[in-house]
Amino acid sequence: MSSAIITELFRRVDARDFEALRESFTDDAVYERPGYEPLVGLDRVLHFYREERVIASGEHQLEKIVVEGPTGACFGRFVGLHKNGSAIDERFADVYTFEEGRIKTRRSYFFRPAV
């Protein structure tokens, strides 16, 4: 596996090329994201990106990607606009498992100050 899988995922998301996400995820992918029940299956993941995601536009800035065998992780920052027009500037981290060159599981975390 290579970090290119993760880099390409974020390129597709930022370009809003949601149809190309079919090449990023397995058919039985599971995406766990704060605020949502697990998104199970490729069709559910695509529906999230097309219909539910609250982001209007923006860009992920990846700071570090680590891939070792069938697992990987990354962290970085997202800067963009919410669909309601407010600015978003948020740090995130993801962990992954891969199968046959695609993402099988993805779990996202968002930094929220405790105080």
Please report the pLDDT score of residue 1 as a whole number: 63
Look at the pTM and tell me if it is higher than 0.85: yes
Q: Is residue 48 part of a domain?
A: yes
Q: Is residue 115 part of a domain?
A: no
Distance of CA 22 to the CA centre of its chain: 13
Q: Which domain holds residue 106?
A: 4-110
Write the Ramachandran bin of 78: left for phi over 0, alpha for psi from -120 to 50, otherwise beta: beta
Residue 113 pLDDT > 80: no
What CATH number did the domain enclosing 92 receive? 3.10.450.50
Q: How many domains does the chain have?
A: 1
What are 109's strand-pairing partners?
A: 93
Q: Is residue 69 part of a domain?
A: yes
Task: Give the separation between CA 110 and CA 6, rounded to whole angstroms.
Answer: 17
Condensed to tens digits (0 to 9), the pLDDT of residues 26-84 reads 999 999 999 999 999 999 999 999 999 999 999 999 999 999 999 999 999 999 999 99
Angle at CA 113, nearest 5°, toward 103 and 45?
Answer: 25
